[in-house]
Amino acid sequence: MIYFVIVNYYSSDFIASLIRSIQASKGVPYTIIIINNSPDDVSIHHLEGDDILILEAGSNLGFGQACNLGLNWIYTQDTQAIVWIINPDTYLLPDVLEKVPTFFASHPELSIVGTIVYTPTGEIWFAGGEFIPEKGEIRAKKIYSNSGSSYLETPWISGCSLLINFKKFDICPQFDRDYFLYYEDFDFCRRYASLGHLIVITHQMGVVHEVSAITSKNLAAKFKYSTYSYLLTIERYSSKIILTVRFTRLFLNAIYLITVKPQVAFGKLHGVWLYLRRVLRISQKPGFSKKPGF
């Protein structure tokens, strides 16, 4: 069984379009799990049906924790499931769903699989993740280097379209609760890669993504969470020197943008403040011995 996990935050129209693309597939059993991060969005309940279940988050849990709610529910039902975490503002390319069972049957060694993500104009938006810890660079590839293999190993996969093979996990995989939005997919992949799980991207499956169609509605919030999550990620996966350099660049860039792009600037500054508050809170915990990033 394939389970789709979709996080709703006032995006019922997008989800309706995504569901139609899923329903266009034939012969593959699936269940759609919608995690409702916007409790007052009553329009989402119009989508509920025999193969569509809505789980109420109770509040906006953020992306990762909402996904965890869906993952935990599915794991209690089916520990052999294939789970497809997918953004509301995406839709499946024709005949993609039919390829999923065959792909995983042919490659049972895979734990986490990403698909190619296209823009509506057909350009590649994501074809694998890159990470350069010496520079603190986390970026998406725009070109898929097809070596003739069914898949390519990659450091991380975008949570926009990410498949998890439950058969490879002794306990239910989880996103880190410290992330509210952005970079939780990177952290998820790096943590499980460190445990020996195989993380790959495949060109055999693809989705179309309306890039930032939801998050760009509130630029201040977008940059607040992306800034905080980026600093947290660099703290964990790079050096203190790189963290200091990146922190300084972010702060100075935010100051510069105040008169040019105030929403972006104040969002970044808010993210910097959230990160500093976290560092201070951790440093004040009893028994704390590890030096914080600053």
Tell whether 122 and 201 lie within a shared domain: yes
Tell whether 159 and 239 lie within a shared domain: no
**Within a domain: 17:** yes
Other beta carbons less than 10 A from residue 64's beta carbon: 25
The total of structural domains in the chain comes to 2
Instruction: For residue 222, give its domain range.
Output: 218-283
pLDDT at 52: 97
pLDDT at 158 over 80: yes
Give the pair of three-digit tokens for residue 34.
Answer: 């919608």
**Within a domain: 293:** no
- Phi/psi for 90 (5° steps) reads -130, 170
Tell whether 193 and 232 lie within a shared domain: no
Tell whether 181 and 267 lie within a shared domain: no
Tell whether 153 and 244 lie within a shared domain: no
Choose the final residue of a domain: 166, 182, 209: 209
**Within a domain: 92:** yes
Q: What is the pLDDT of residues 198-233, one digit of tens each?
A: 999 999 999 999 877 666 678 999 999 999 999 999
Tell whether 203 and 236 lie within a shared domain: no
Nearest residue to 198 via CA among 150, 134, 138, 144: 150
- How much is the mean pLDDT over the chain? 93
Other beta carbons less than 10 A from residue 147's beta carbon: 7
3-class DSSP assignment, residue 30: strand
Q: What is the pLDDT of residues 82-141, one digit of tens each?
A: 999 999 999 999 999 999 999 999 999 999 999 999 999 999 999 999 999 999 999 999
- Residue reference for tokens 């789980």: 55
Tell whether 146 and 83 lie within a shared domain: yes
Residue range 3-24: average pLDDT? Answer: 96
Choose the final residue of a domain: 191, 209, 227: 209
pLDDT at 291 over 50: no
CA 93 to chain CA mean position, Å? 19
Nearest residue to 164 via CA among 116, 203, 209, 200: 200
Tell whether 237 and 192 lie within a shared domain: no
Tell whether 243 and 128 lie within a shared domain: no
Choose the final residue of a domain: 209, 237, 266: 209
Other beta carbons less than 10 A from residue 46's beta carbon: 9
**Within a domain: 288:** no
**Within a domain: 292:** no
Tell whether 263 and 192 lie within a shared domain: no
Tell whether 201 and 120 lie within a shared domain: yes
**pTM of the prediction?**
0.93
pLDDT at 17 over 90: yes
3-class DSSP assignment, residue 175: coil
Give the integer Cα–Cα distance in Å for 85 and 164: 8
Q: Between β-strands 161-165 and 82-86, what pairing exists: parallel, antiparallel or unpaired?
A: antiparallel
**Within a domain: 103:** yes
Q: Between β-strands 30-36 and 52-56, what pairing exists: parallel, antiparallel or unpaired?
A: parallel
> Given pLDDT bands bounded at 50, 70 and 90, which one contains residue 175?
very high
